[in-house]
Every structure is written in C-alpha cells, then in structure tokens.
Amino acid sequence: MNDGGKVYLVGSGPGGLGLMTCRAREVIAFADIILYDQLPGEEILASLPDNATKIDVGKFGGCHVMEQGDIENLMIEYASQGNNVVRLKGGDPFLFGRGGEELEILRAHNIRTEVVPGITSAIAVPASVGIPVTHRKFASQVTIITGNEDPQKEESSIDWEWLARSRGTIVVLMGVKNLGKIVASLVDFGMDKETPVAVIEKGLRFDQRETIGTLVTISDLVIEKKVRPPAVIVIGYVVSLFTSEHIVAG
C-alpha cells in the first residue's frame, strides 16, 4: 500500500452547503488538492478552502474539459507525491459518478482511498417539491437509471420493456438531452401515455425550476421552457403529489 497521500472520493450532495455531510466538509478542509466537477454548484465551489490547489476537471451537462483518464492520472500523481486529494462530485460518488471506476484505478495503483457518500439528487430533488419516490399508495419500488449511457456500448443495458410494465417510480439522471427517446421507449413498450412526469431543473438551488407534464407532453414542454442540465426526471404517479413550493438548501 502506498504510504504517501490519500484520495477521497467525495459526494457533495444535491446542492447547497446545508446538504453536505459533516465528513465531506472535514476532508475538504484539510485537502491539499481538490479536483472538482461543476455539479456541486456555485455555493459549494465558492466555499472551497483558499489554501488548497483547486482544479476544474469540467464535467457538467456533457461538457468535459478533461478526459476521465487524465483525471485518474492526476489523482494518482498527486497522491503519490504525498498529497491529500479530494475528488469532488455532485450527489453521491457511486451513483453514475464514475466513482466505482476511479476506485478500481486507485486500488490498482495501491493508493489509499476513502469514499465519502453524499445525498443523491435522485431522491433529494424530488423530495424538495413534495414528490416521494416511493409511496404506499402509488409506488413500492423505485428504479434509478441514467439517461446518458456509455456511447461505446453496442446496445443499451436498460430493460425498457420491463420498466414500461413496472408499477414503480422511474428516476432518470442526466436525461434531458435524450428525454424524447426515453419517453418514446416507455410508450412503445406499453406504459400509459398519461403517466405523470416531472422534470426538476437545477434542483435545490435558488434558480430551481419544475416542468410537469405526461409522457406525451413532457418533451415539448421541456423544449418550450428551454430546460437545461442538470435536471432530475421523475416518471410515475408519485408526481401527482408535486407542490410548487420547494426547499432551497442553504
């Protein structure tokens, strides 16, 4: 095991300092190097300590200023030099955050690593507008999927037929760009066209917006309102519990 530095794979939560864990704040406070995405949001990024070297690795809404392999190389390089390195991500580092891949690489190079879980936006953002992802009346299961699978895959690993027939809630992360394809797949496999859909943009931030529709209307509404990532998409009858008043994390 490398006796030098250590890498912390840190989830910053769904937005705002108020929803970061105490452990996340602790490791950020004594970090030498912070490699950050944009998803944590302006409030969290503005709070990063002045004495740390901060590097924007640029993952936000499909825009990558640094390739994944280069990010991994930086973590290895800085940790091998004896630094405490924080890899700061939005939400939870293991939910579509490529944290699992990074952990594998770090272990392969004998780098000491700690995972700091974060509250995922898949649950917290719907909750902020009164949408529970499970509810005894509406849904006894929830499925979280990515709307942006690895483009190098020969075929999707998402079972759209099963999803369309399931009676649970579907939460889609990183799905704004492919929303039309997502709803079309569900309708093609038999999901009720009138199933409610919520698209919650910039969740738990001061400029949060919500767009509510059905499988057949939501794509046009999102285009009309010019919805942009990041956004959480909720599909299911729990959306009927939506309230226009929402919580802003502070």
How far apart are the C-alpha atoms of 177 and 91, rounded to whole Å? 20
Give the model's pLDDT for residue 61: 53
Do the Cβ atoms of 139 and 133 come closer than 8 Å? yes
User: Is 177 an active-site residue?
Assistant: no
185-194 as b/e, with b when 16 or more CB fall inside 10 Å? Answer: bbeeeebeee
- Is 220 catalytic? The answer is no
Residue type, 64: H
Domains, the chain, ranges and CATH?
6-116 (3.40.1010.10), 121-241 (3.30.950.10)
50, two tokens: 């002045």
φ, ψ of residue 47 to 5 degrees: the values are -90, -5
Amino acid letter, residue 77 = E
User: Which one of the listed residues 37, 75, 92, 191 is annotated catalytic?
Assistant: 37
6, 59, 89, 202: the catalytic one is 59
**Please, what's the b/e burial string for 102-114 (b: 16 or more CB within 10 A of its CB; e: otherwise)?**
bbebbeebebbbe
Q: Which amino acid is at 86?
A: V
pLDDT digits (tens, 9 = 90+) for 134-143: 999 999 999 9
With 90 as the cut, is the pLDDT of residue 148 above it? Answer: no
As a whole number, mean pLDDT of residues 151-165 equals 83
Active site residue 59: yes
Average pLDDT, the chain: 92
> What is the tens place of the pLDDT at every residue in 182-208?
999 999 999 999 999 999 999 998 889
Tokens representing 216 are 């057949």
Beta carbons of 61 and 112 less than 8 angstroms apart: no
pTM: 0.89
Q: What is the mean pLDDT of residues 169-176?
A: 96
Place of tokens 């939400």: 91
